[in-house]
Structure 1
């Protein structure tokens, strides 16, 4: 199957954070009002999420 024949994927508007050492999800699912694009975690634990044309920076719990 060629890429042009693949159905479009649905927009992703949620972010789930996982602890990679335990494999367990950390906190609740985060829901955004638009499609999520870049996601990054800073060395000090802040989560940065790009959605639509906006960005959110969240502090660690």
Structure 2
């Protein structure tokens, strides 16, 4: 397993976006790559739709 994230991705990432299937798929893909959830998700409302955020950290190679 690689000791650093692929494609020059950072060790720490904060994914944000509309609370929808696409966001869930982005988080799922990061988990498949070797990232782990870091802390709890956050959610807010921007007046039109819910916006979520999830922090992730690289764990492969530990």
Same fold (TM over 0.5): no
Using CA pairs under 8 Å that are at least 6 residues apart, name the structure with larger relative contact order, 1 or 2: 2
Q: Looking at CA atoms only, which structure, 1 or 2, has the larger radius of gyration?
A: 1
* Bigger share in helix: 2
* Bigger share in strand: 1
**TM score, norm. by length of structure 2:** 0.30
